[in-house]
Amino acid sequence: MLNKFKLFIFAWVYTTIFDTSKEGLETLFYPWQVKVIEEFLRRRDDDGVEPETSASVHKHLLGTEYEASRASVINFLEYLVEEEILERDEESCKGGSRGLYTLRLSRHGFEELIVRRILNKLSKVFPAFRPSLTL
């Protein structure tokens, strides 16, 4: 049985693996990336929209089983900006500037974006099934 296959649904620089042996967002993202996304979604659901710095996102992962390098966190946040999932604003601070990241979408909007992109890509890969793949 096919458990994994590559499905290019986002930016060409970031390959997403669709792993059917996993559950939830882990079918599309690494566990530490899921933690980052879930934290943005949780904060939006609980507190409203509040910006995060890459340092605060990285700090959130430290000491957990989901640790990732600071560079990986920054690259993932920038990837989410390119995909219009996060918004990035600049803030002047001591020593220069830093990025402030905010979730652009609600939980429902995020989930809908993921589903639409997957269905859109599948309809291009398998055009014979296009009518049955619409949302």
Residue 14 above 70 pLDDT? no
Whole-number pLDDT of residue 77 = 92
Please check whether residue 105 is in contact with residue 113, taking contact to mean a CB–CB distance below 8 angstroms: yes
Using one digit for the tens of pLDDT, what is the confidence trace for 33-79?
Answer: 999 999 888 887 776 667 888 888 999 899 888 888 888 899 999 98
Using one digit for the tens of pLDDT, what is the confidence trace for 69-114?
Answer: 888 899 999 989 988 899 999 888 787 778 899 999 888 998 898 8
Please check whether residue 82 is in contact with residue 100, taking contact to mean a CB–CB distance below 8 angstroms: no
Residues near 59 by beta carbon (within 8 Å), at least 6 away in sequence: none
Whole-number pLDDT of residue 6 = 45
**Three-point CA angle 109, 71, 121, nearest 5°:** 40
In DSSP terms, 19 is beta-bridged to: 4
Whole-number pLDDT of residue 135 = 59
The values of phi and psi at residue 90, to 5°, are: -95, 140
Please check whether residue 77 is in contact with residue 101, taking contact to mean a CB–CB distance below 8 angstroms: yes
Whole-number pLDDT of residue 3 = 47
A 10 A CB-CB count for 47 gives 8
Claim: this prediction has a pTM higher than 0.85? no
**28-121 CATH fold:** Arc Repressor Mutant, subunit A (1.10.10)
